[in-house]
A and B are shown apart, each in its own frame.
Chain A
């Protein structure tokens, strides 16, 4: 009798364990390169909290849209802007109404050399450098923001011959980080550690000088029925995720 009950208990726990495994899903996420560091942390927290796993792919927002239009199997898209997700929504590749701003991106003029970039960005006027790195404005929102800024400062014509363009913001960072470009426009999140510029010198560009970089997230059609994808988007709005986003220097949408 006792043995029988024990057997039954064992069966029930096994079934429970199996169903728990079945519930813990996984989701494939396309993430704009500038959000690499915070997203790695958020994904780790998300896995701990929900049991779901998130597989992350990093690149330029423009590339992801091109890939998605040709059937790339991503569930969630974290863009570096708001135009690309809106475009996906219009072309019916994303779930309507699932779009929201997860972070406000901040632009920084950065050099790997100590004391090279002053805190007012006067170096742009003074010159003396051979290469100014930025992300391709056609493909990457941070590149477009840098163009905005230079146009506002009326320095575009003067500095355009010095441009070296990264295919995305991560490659732009690489150009500056290896010293091949003396300075360049990157995302604040790339150079921030514990609330401070981690190395080199930087000018955090005042937000009044460029159009805000609203970074939108959206649920894609292939992720519409995936609980892990839906849970991840919810998690992005939760206090632990917002704390990580803020820690890397992003603004939060009201």
Chain B
């Protein structure tokens, strides 16, 4: 059966994923918009940087985060200067790592959605004397709604499914950094296969349901819009 400890890891996982998704949308929306409209020579570099977690093994990201966010690393020195201490082994650190790790899953669908809008609606808005900011909120955002839905679902689901980075920067602390994927790993290593099955099976169903929603509910809208 699912134990109290298992439930806590589930709850924590959804907390991390929800918070990370909010931050990714806040960070990813302007980023994706800029990447869509810019003619800057930086575009290729920024695109590549955002997409890096897609190709890098989580161990690379986890290792560098541990070094950078540690007390001797630049990020660690900065957070100590801010007075919040170092980030590894903390809930906040887990959210930061998740945002970096899952960001391409939010930015890329948004970019696609923004690009699909094209120039015409923007030009029409401009002839009606809408400011760029007004255009963005009253024209771009509503038209890109399916993209936002896809980005939210993918960003959330990918954070739930993350393992390697969390294992490396989390420290396996109950209630703080022990997420469900790590808990499953611990169950398997301790030969507690029954407990592992409950959680692993649950996660399998969850992931399938999420993708099913994505492909049946969200996608047709995106096509028929």
Which residues of A approach B to under 8 Å, CB–CB?
60, 62-63, 65-66, 69, 130-131, 133, 136, 138-139, 163-167, 171, 174-175, 178-181
Residues of A within 8 A of B89 (CB): 131, 164, 175, 180-181
Residues of B within 8 A of A131 (CB): 89, 171
Stretch in contact with the other chain, from B15-23, B66-74, B199-207: B66-74
Per DSSP, are chain B's interface residues mostly helix, strand or loop, or mixed?
Answer: loop
Nearest Cβ distance between residue B41 and chain A, in whole angstroms? 36
Nearest Cβ distance between residue B107 and chain A, in whole angstroms? 29
Top 6 A-B pairs ranked by shortest CB distance? A164-B171, A165-B172, A180-B88, A178-B70, A179-B71, A180-B70
Q: How far is the CA of A139 from the CA of B188 in the complex (A)?
A: 10
B189 pairs with A175, CB closer than 8 A:
no
Residues of A within 8 A of B67 (CB): 178
B186 interface contact, C-beta 8 A: yes
Residues of B within 8 A of A63 (CB): 189
Which residues of B approach A to under 8 Å, CB–CB?
66-67, 69-72, 85-86, 88-89, 167-168, 171-173, 185-186, 188-191
B88 pairs with A138, CB closer than 8 A:
no
Nearest Cβ distance between residue B163 and chain A, in whole angstroms? 11
Given known contacts A131-B171, A180-B66, is B71 in contact with A139 (CB within 8 Å)? Answer: no
**Please, which residue of chain B has its CB at the minimum distance from the CB of A62?**
B189
Per DSSP, are chain A's interface residues mostly helix, strand or loop, or mixed?
Answer: mixed
**Please, which residue of chain B has its CB at the minimum distance from the CB of A163?**
B173
B70 pairs with A179, CB closer than 8 A:
yes
What would be 22 A-B contacts, judged by CB atoms less than 8 Å apart? Answer: A62-B191, A63-B189, A66-B188, A69-B191, A131-B171, A138-B189, A138-B190, A139-B186, A164-B89, A164-B171, A165-B171, A165-B172, A167-B167, A174-B66, A175-B88, A175-B171, A178-B72, A179-B70, A179-B71, A179-B72, A180-B86, A181-B171
Nearest Cβ distance between residue B10 and chain A, in whole angstroms? 19
Other-chain residue from B168, B171, B172, B191 in contact with A65 (beta carbon distance below 8 A): B191
Q: How far is the CA of A202 from the CA of B130 in the complex (A)?
A: 67
Q: How far is the CA of A164 from the CA of B67 in the complex (A)?
A: 16
A138 pairs with B186, CB closer than 8 A:
yes
Given known contacts A131-B89, A164-B89, A180-B66, is B172 in contact with A136 (CB within 8 Å)? Answer: yes
Nearest Cβ distance between residue B5 and chain A, in whole angstroms? 12
**Please, which residue of chain A has its CB at the minimum distance from the CB of B172?**
A165
Given known contacts A66-B191, A164-B172, A167-B167, is B186 in contact with A180 (CB within 8 Å)? Answer: no
A178 pairs with B186, CB closer than 8 A:
no
Residues of B within 8 A of A138 (CB): 186, 189-190
**Please, which residue of chain B has its CB at the minimum distance from the CB of A160?**
B174
A133 pairs with B171, CB closer than 8 A:
yes
Q: How far is the CA of A69 from the CA of B172 in the complex (A)?
A: 25
Please indicate which of the listed interface residues A63, A171, A175 has the most CB atoms of chain B within 10 Å of its own CB. Answer: A175
B66 pairs with A66, CB closer than 8 A:
no
A164 pairs with B66, CB closer than 8 A:
no
Residues of A within 8 A of B69 (CB): 180
Q: How far is the CA of A167 from the CA of B190 in the complex (A)?
A: 11
Q: How far is the CA of A29 from the CA of B38 in the complex (A)?
A: 55
Please indicate which of the listed interface residues B186, B189, B190 has the most CB atoms of chain A within 10 Å of its own CB. Answer: B189
**Please, which residue of chain A has its CB at the minimum distance from the CB of B190?**
A138
**Please, which residue of chain A has its CB at the minimum distance from the CB of B167?**
A167
Q: How far is the CA of A94 from the CA of B164 in the complex (A)?
A: 31
Given contacts A164-B172, A180-B70, 10 further A-B contacts (CB under 8 A): A66-B188, A66-B189, A167-B167, A167-B189, A174-B66, A178-B67, A180-B66, A180-B71, A180-B86, A181-B171
Nearest Cβ distance between residue B85 and chain A, in whole angstroms? 7
Nearest Cβ distance between residue A115 and chain B, in whole angstroms? 16
Nearest Cβ distance between residue A95 and chain B, in whole angstroms? 21
**Please, which residue of chain B has its CB at the minimum distance from the CB of A131?**
B89
